[in-house]
Amino acid sequence: MEIKPFTAVLPTEAGLHKLTTNDHQWTSADERVQPSAGYYWYELTHNGIHQWRLIASWPEQLSVTTMLPGGINTVLYPKQPVIEMLIDDWVGHFPKTCEFTDAQGVTHRLWQVTEAEVNADITETMAPVAPRKTWLTTTSTPLVMLVADSEWTKFKTQPQVPEHLIQQLTNQ
């Protein structure tokens, strides 16, 4: 898969409060630009079940969007020990960039991977991985959410990804 790190727009504390209370009155004061490019590990927890995803930039010519579960492209790939090892080794190494629980009781946590060497490892590790399944529509987006198929099956109904949780800075 051809992916790369990106500069993200994330919610401020006020934005996290709005995501928690399902308030759709979003303003520029509710978002902040991260100081550097990176990948994002994304953990969803619902009823004690955890699911891990990797959020990355997706080349424009490959842009897809998802019909399920929400605004960020979802691509399934076969479970790979190297990718699982990267998650295990690096998630605890970086501080959380945000955490909140939405109105449906789903806890969302993001970690930004900021070290160039780790980002290079992720890019290199994902390059030969063939997607197993993607969900497509006609509207493109520059972000992709990568989920191991074994992680995807943890939830019968996939939790909704909040619309303003993470976006790519548009002037990259």
How do residues 64-114 score in pLDDT, each as one tens digit? 655 555 567 788 888 777 777 777 777 777 889 999 999 999 999 999 998
Within its chain, how far is the Cα of 78 from the centroid? 18
- Domain limits, the chain: 8-168
pLDDT at 139: 59
Q: What pLDDT does residue 171 have?
A: 63
Q: Are 65 and 46 in contact (CB under 8 A)?
A: no
Question: What six digits make up the tokens of 152?
Answer: 């995807």
CB 129 within 8 A of CB 77: yes
Max distance between CA atoms of the chain, in angstroms, equals 42
Are the CB atoms for 62 and 12 separated by under 8 Å?
A: no
Per the structure block, which two tokens stand in for 43?
């953990």
Q: Look-up: residue for tokens 């490959």? A: 62
- Which residues of the chain, if any, have pLDDT below 50? none
Element at 81 (helix H, strand E) = helix 81-90
pLDDT, position 44:
95
**In DSSP terms, which residues pair with 112 in a beta bridge?**
40
For β-strands 143-148 and 73-77, DSSP reports them as parallel
Q: Residue 17 is inside which H or E element, if any?
A: helix 13-21
CA 74 to CA 3: how far, in whole Å? 13
